[in-house]
Amino acid sequence: MENVNDIRVAVIPAAGKGTRLYPITKTQPKEMLPIYDKPIIQLVVEEAINSGIKEIIIITSKNKPSMEAHFDHIKTDNKILKELNDKLKGVDITFKRQYEQKGLGDAILCAKNLIKSEKFAVLLGDDFYIDNAVPALKQLINEVNNSDMVISSEVRSEKDMTSKGMIIESEGNIINLIEKPKIEQVCSKFAISGRYILSSKIFEKLEKLESSERGEIELTDALNQLLKEGGKIKHKLISGKRLDVGTPDEYLRANIAYAKSKGVYNEK
């Protein structure tokens, strides 16, 4: 049996082009956009660190050198940057390039050679959580002893579900996953919400997958194959609020919600 300390590695896919945020992201990585006083990627990294992760692999692309530079340890008298240096002391961060953006599954596959035969975490690089006493990833880690893999979930409306991955479950165990279902396919209230604990078995499935209709290597397809072979995958309804930054409207709402949660913004 594994214990919570066995989840030591996290993969953060952050190579996407951010096309839905153009022109903001024409030259600026969406993961480096500020949420009040921190870039989004820092909030995600801090969540991993606060969840006990010791090694972080960030999947990046050629147009995002600022993301790597942000996590450099610098000599400074600035209090805020000293605090960041201190947070980074206990974790190793490696950047691995995804040369062609072919979906979440392909991004995770880029980390294969850096991960041993162990369970590992995945945190999407463009969303974060607020209003949770226990970090979202830590909530998943606390569940991992009871299952092969764990996926974070949230309750979404039918309309919202069409832009997410839908979870079909029975008694807490997942029986099927549908990537961005059509409205007529929606038959569940649970959506995937950007955090995973995966087994290294996933790499073998991802390597053999053909591209989907969207031209991507879909993580959901690989997970469904494991389910068909008897794999046990649970989902965990996350306590807290997930904030996405995929569109300008979502980005603006995320900033306001984060500022409110920190007590630095109050609507008049």
Look at residue 2 and tell me whether its pLDDT is greater than 60.
no
- Cα separation, 156 vs 143, whole angstroms: 22
pLDDT band at 209 (very low <50, low <70, confident <90, very high): confident
Look at residue 3 and tell me whether its pLDDT is greater than 60.
no
- Cα separation, 147 vs 262, whole angstroms: 35
Least reliable range by pLDDT among 2-16, 81-95, 135-149, 233-247: 2-16
Structure tokens at 267: 């609507």
Peptide bond into 23 cis (omega under 30): yes
pLDDT at position 268: 62
pLDDT band at 211 (very low <50, low <70, confident <90, very high): confident
Domain locations in the chain? 6-149+194-223+239-261
Q: What percent of the chain has pLDDT over 70?
A: 97
Least reliable range by pLDDT among 3-12, 80-89, 96-105: 3-12
pTM strictly above 0.95: no
pLDDT at position 1: 39
pLDDT at position 106: 93
Structure tokens at 144: 């991992």
Look at residue 38 and tell me whether its pLDDT is greater than 50.
yes
Please write down the HEC assignment for all residues of 161-218.
HCCCEEEEEECCEEEEEEECCCHHHCCCCEEEEEEEEECCHHHHHHHHCCCCCCCCCC
- Looking at the domain that runs over 6-149+194-223+239-261, which CATH code has it been given? 3.90.550.10
Average pLDDT for residues 172-190, to the nearest whole number? 81
Dihedral sign computed on CA atoms, order 182, 158, 30, 122: negative
pLDDT at position 4: 43
Look at residue 5 and tell me whether its pLDDT is greater than 70.
no
